[in-house]
Amino acid sequence: MSRILVVEDDLEIAGPLIRSLQGAGYSVALVGDGKVAVDKVKNTKPDLIILDLGLPTMDGLDVCRSIRAYSMDTPILILTARSSELDLVVGLDAGADDYLTKPFRTSELLARIRALQRRTSGGEVIELIGDSIRLDTEARVCWVSEVEVPLTSTEYVLLELLMRNAGRVVSRQQILRDVWNTDWSGSTKNLDMHVSALRRKLGDAGHHVATVRGLGFRFDRS
């Protein structure tokens, strides 16, 4: 049974959320304080974290940064009322794997949780190389010019998908389906923000992730 840590100080939100997660078969623990959440993660190593941003003692973004500073790759889903594009960018840059705004549909939340779990489940072992970028799919590690680049599980799966299809355009719909487990055809702003965050982390090598206007994205080896 997968263990989920919910970090939320509003019991009116946390209560129904926990019941929904337990009804879906998850083991759930609740923490309502930022600093306590960091200690809880280090001590119990949950399989997934659902994180609010407005928390006592430590803001959710700092909680996220602290968890990543300990080199912990536990998937983090930010669940918050902050809905601006800047909030999304800051959340992803802090190390979150996904970002869902309140109010939300339980079905969408559960779908995103399943997608995050698939990203960390592993698969065939293969090394992908594109110019200065190298992926080890067994260790799930990315190097750029032999320097390890810390990616979230979402960023890693996104880059792996593009590198496996190097030289070919991967449509936005395929990326949403394969990475986020959705066929939604509306706004893809969330995807665009993840691509931007990935490029920033890759630095000068970010140019390999090319935008093909009106179609999707392509990984160029050179």
Residue at a domain's end among 119, 148, 181 = 119
Q: pLDDT tens digit string along 7-59?
A: 999 999 999 999 999 999 999 999 999 999 999 999 999 999 999 999 999 99
**pLDDT at residue 104 in the model:** 86
- How is the beta sheet containing 147-149 ordered, strand by strand? 127-130, 133-136, 141-144, 147-149
- Do 191 and 102 belong together in one domain? no
Q: Which of 59-63, 75-79, 181-185, 199-203 has the lowest mean pLDDT?
A: 181-185
| Exposure string over 55-64, b if 16+ CB within 10 A, otherwise e | beebebbbbb
What global pTM score does this model have? 0.68
Domain count, the chain: 2
Q: What residue numbers bound the domain in which 83 lies?
A: 3-119
